[in-house]
Amino acid sequence: MQSFRKKKKGRKLLLHLNRLTFLSQRPLGAVFFLFFLAALFGCSSQTTPSEQTSASSAFSEPAYGDRFVTGSIGEPKNLIPILASDSASQSIVGMVFNGLVKYNEKVELTGDLAEGWEIEREGLDIIFHLRRNVRWHDGHPFTADDVVFTYQKLIDPTIKTPYSGDFERIAHLEKIDEDTVKVTYKEPFSPALSSWGMSIMPKHLLEKEDFNKTSFSRHPIGTGPYRFKRWKTGEFVELEANPDYFEGRPYIDGTLYRIIPDQATLFLELRTEGVDSLDLTPLQYQRQTESDFFRRTYRKYRYPAFAYTYIGYNLIDPRFRDIRIRKALTLAVNRKEMIDGILLGLGRECTGPFVPESWAYNPEVRPLSYDLEEAKRLLAEAGWRDTDGDGWLDKNGEIFEFTLITNQGNEQRQMVAELVQRQWQKLGIRVKIRIIEWAAFLSEFIDKKRFEAFILGWALSRDPDLYDIWHSSKTREGEFNFIQYKNVEVDRLIEEGRRTFDQEKRKEIYHRLHRIIYEEQPCTFLYVPDALPIVHARVKGVKPSPIGIGYNFIKWYVPKNEQKYVTR
């Protein structure tokens, strides 16, 4: 029994990672993860000082060759880009395919398969000029037909793609000539551009295929920097460099995704150099990778993830409908202590629905300070006092108590729950904690709104559109405004934000949204954790930037004298 529990822990950790969906460089297509590639496609950075030996710098000329091995906790499921919904598949799809656009190292949209684009009629039309002379891995030329085909499959109701949403807003898409497509939207939709980070699929190979049965799902052919080589179920997926890649041949000849479903095993593999990189936990980062061996063999990186953790309240509950109570609850949570204690200092306070690396983030919004007295005052003002002296607040004879739920297997969230339970107790609020298995947690509690308060995290897309999480229309079962937040002004601003194409104007809108949401405290925003990737020291050319470290993977290299694997 005990062992089973532990096993679940490992597995749950994976679910926790899965949950943090990172919209990567390829904005829509790629929902990346916290295991290796997530780190690659993270955001800004801060490198631990790397001690370069003089010997290695003498030989550190870029060279072709070697292989990069990463561990993946989950097995990829389907490598057809529009069907790839799990993180393991996403990271492989991201290497094999390209979208029309991608995010560059400064988190700005730039061309990928499209060389450039024009936005016309205030955003109703987007005209993409495609890159010429791009070839699929099988040698067939890439053309506008492939874009049209991908679009048709995305909106085809018989195909099990979860990504149709953004593409349903298209009125029509036409091919103007071999290298030009024109997309016409029903109404201006600014997240549209980033949605074209969706990987484009080859028409000539998939046209006659049944998407449910095609072997393409396990043998993808794309345009990307790496070609699919083979996949041994439950063991590994191997990719090899595409020598004809349009941005130049990648230095590293091969990448290998080893499927290792257990966190502890992954770390042991790191210690035996069986994998070249891993996303560390705060504990591993601070305490377990400080030995001489690790200093010699690996380089650690650290940058804020595009994600945050929060406590959500059921805003239908009359107690939580009162802003004074929500504010009091936030005031009583010592977020600094939480970051120091739970993340071992590897994170930052969160002040709203955006992370500091996003252009939508409003730096003028200051986090509420930790202030128990003010919290008590607000609660008293709302009518909650300890009238009978039993230590718990009450009102009309009822004690202030509620249940805080979170999912099983995520130790960080469980620690958060215990910490806030203790801190709210100081206010005289009784909190019960319930930990629930992930699937049941989502479908029976969160989706059905059967909760008083919960702890969850959001991973954010690069585009700051808040519609799906904060718009008042998104409260149906299976939608993401779980807390049922409703604010007319916020609704209006969100709608305006997704109609506006001018980034400066959008920025103003999101800055206002950020402020309003933080002032309203619909949930207690806790922290933005750091992504903590570790990469083998023989790999050079890793240049941390606001988007993370993986954006220039094709420029990473291993100097000739340090190459470990023979790849050809």
Partner 1 sequence: MRRYLLKQLIGRIPLLFGITVITFMVIHLAPGKPTTLQTELNPKVSYEARVRLEKLYGLDKPLPVQYGRWLSRLVRLDFGTSFQDDRPVLDKIMERIPITLLIELLSLVLIFLLAIPIGVASAVRKDSFFDKAITLFVFIGFAAPGFWIALLLMEFFGVTLGWLPVSGIRSFGSENLSLMEQALDLGKHLILPVFISAFGGLAGLSRYMRGNMLNVIQQDYIRTARAKGLPERVVIYKHALRNALLPVVTLLGLSLPGLIGGSVIAEAIFGIPGMGRLFFDSVMARDYPVIMGILFIGAVLTLLGNLLADIAYGWVDPRIRIIGEEGIKE
CB of 419 to partner 1, least distance (A): 23
Tell me the C-alpha distance between 411 and 133, whole Å: 50
| Contact set for partner 1, span 454-473 (CB under 8 A) | 458, 461, 468-469
| Binding mask of the shown chain, residues 1 to 40, with x at each position contacting partner 1 by CB under 8 A | -xxx-xx--xx---x--xx-x-x----x--x---------
The binder of partner 1 chosen from 46, 50, 110, 212 (CB under 8 A): 212
Q: Taking the CA atoms of 354, 355, 360 and 365 in sequence, report the sign of the dihedral they define.
A: positive
Tell me the C-alpha distance between 199 and 82, whole Å: 8
447 near partner 1, rule: CB under 8 A: yes
Query: How far is the CA of 265 from the CAs of 140, 260, 284, in angstroms?
Result: 42, 7, 13
CB of 235 to partner 1, least distance (A): 6
171 near partner 1, rule: CB under 8 A: no
The binder of partner 1 chosen from 163, 246, 294, 501 (CB under 8 A): 163
| Contact set for partner 1, span 49-78 (CB under 8 A) | 69, 75, 77-78
564 near partner 1, rule: CB under 8 A: no
CB of 263 to partner 1, least distance (A): 10
Q: Which residue has the tokens 């290695």?
A: 56
Specify the residue, 60 or 195, whose C-beta has the smaller distance to partner 1. Answer: 195
Tell me the C-alpha distance between 200 and 180, whole Å: 14
Tell me the C-alpha distance between 126 and 169, whole Å: 13
Which H or E run includes 260?
A: none
213 near partner 1, rule: CB under 8 A: yes
Tell me the C-alpha distance between 514 and 361, whole Å: 7
| Contact set for partner 1, span 470-489 (CB under 8 A) | 474, 476, 478-480
Specify the residue, 133 or 158, whose C-beta has the smaller distance to partner 1. Answer: 158
Specify the residue, 11 or 511, whose C-beta has the smaller distance to partner 1. Answer: 11
Tell me the C-alpha distance between 425 and 305, whole Å: 31
503 near partner 1, rule: CB under 8 A: no
CB of 164 to partner 1, least distance (A): 5
CB of 219 to partner 1, least distance (A): 13
The binder of partner 1 chosen from 50, 443, 503, 561 (CB under 8 A): 443
Tell me the C-alpha distance between 41 and 31, whole Å: 10
Tell me the C-alpha distance between 151 and 491, whole Å: 29
Residue 444 CB neighbours (<10 A): 13
| Contact set for partner 1, span 77-116 (CB under 8 A) | 77-78, 83, 85-87
Specify the residue, 160 or 432, whose C-beta has the smaller distance to partner 1. Answer: 160
Written as six digits, the tokens of 16 are 């926790």
Altogether, the residues listed in the chain come to a count of: 568
Rg (CA), the chain: 24
283 near partner 1, rule: CB under 8 A: no
The binder of partner 1 chosen from 175, 204, 258, 395 (CB under 8 A): 258
H helix runs in 332-436, sequence order: 335-342, 372-381, 411-425
